[in-house]
Amino acid sequence: MPLQPDLSWLFAAVALGPFVGSFLGLMSLRLPEGRPVGLARSACPSCARPLGPIDLVPVLSFVALRGRCRTCGAQIPRRYLALELACPALALWSALVHPSAEGFLGALLAWQLLLLALLDAEHLWLPRMLTLPLIVSGLAVAAAQGVLGAHLLGAALGFAGLSLLALAYRRLRGREGLGGGDAYLLAGGGAWCGAIALPSTLLIAAASGLVFALVLRLRGRAVAADQPLPFGVFLAVGVWLTWLYGPLGLA
């Protein structure tokens, strides 16, 4: 008989999602600018009016204010609404695939990966202040589940593998081929999914990157040989899908 979702965990993850999405939107804008995330009060970027509670209710405030500041009428960045909707959607996806407390943990993984993918897509940046917590949280979950050894090995192999690949590319081509944050991100994937999942993660990431390049080519925007690509985005996809459905080819 198929498992039914544990509605308490599902509702908790989905209810928390919009608030997480709002915070991720704030982080995605402030971190690249070096601005404080948790101390400075939110304000309209156009008129600098501090935002009150009526402005900060995820999704509902955006709809009620029609996407504009209620003082100056400036447009509110659409990224906030997109993230406020994406986070509960990812939580729902995780909870339906893993109908238990594990689904809630999957939401925590998804939210971390989403922020990292967004920063890499926009800035080619995977900051260690975010990749290191990804590793730590994965190992903490593994320890609670009694599988720390395999996941610790996964983190080590993930980091070493991409670090050595980046070093070899740099020696052979005389330029950088992978960003420094990619190794830490794959280490986070190994921490969450275990050593056995690393090949699947890399295969899905590579396939996602190829699909992305193909779509660009079909749209007349071919990727140049020396054009940097946000490989962290594709790694995040690989980690997420591998965590959800397990390594490829395994029951």
**pLDDT values of the chain reduced to their tens digit, one per residue, 251 residues:** 344 556 788 899 999 999 999 999 999 999 999 888 776 678 887 887 888 888 889 999 999 988 898 888 888 889 999 999 999 999 999 999 998 899 999 999 999 999 999 999 999 999 999 999 999 999 999 999 999 999 999 999 999 999 998 888 778 777 776 778 999 999 999 999 999 999 999 999 999 999 988 888 888 776 666 677 899 999 999 999 999 999 987 54
Does residue 131 contact residue 125 with C-beta atoms inside 8 Å? no
136 and 235 belong to one structural domain = yes
Range of the structural domain that residue 180 is part of: 127-251
CA pair distance 178, 162, nearest whole angstrom: 8
118 and 1 belong to one structural domain = yes
205 and 220 belong to one structural domain = yes
20 and 132 belong to one structural domain = no
CA pair distance 229, 179, nearest whole angstrom: 10
111 and 135 belong to one structural domain = no
146 and 96 belong to one structural domain = no
Q: Which of 96, 123, 150 is a domain's end point? A: 123
Total domains, the chain? 2
16 and 35 belong to one structural domain = yes
Query: Could you say which DSSP state residue 88 is in?
Result: H
72 and 142 belong to one structural domain = no
What pTM, to 2 d.p., does this model score? 0.91
151 and 202 belong to one structural domain = yes
Q: Which of 76, 98, 123 is a domain's end point? A: 123
113 and 139 belong to one structural domain = no
131 and 245 belong to one structural domain = yes
Annotate 108-141 with DSSP letters as a single string. Answer: HHHHHHHHHHHHHHHHS---HHHHHHHHHHHHHH
200 and 96 belong to one structural domain = no
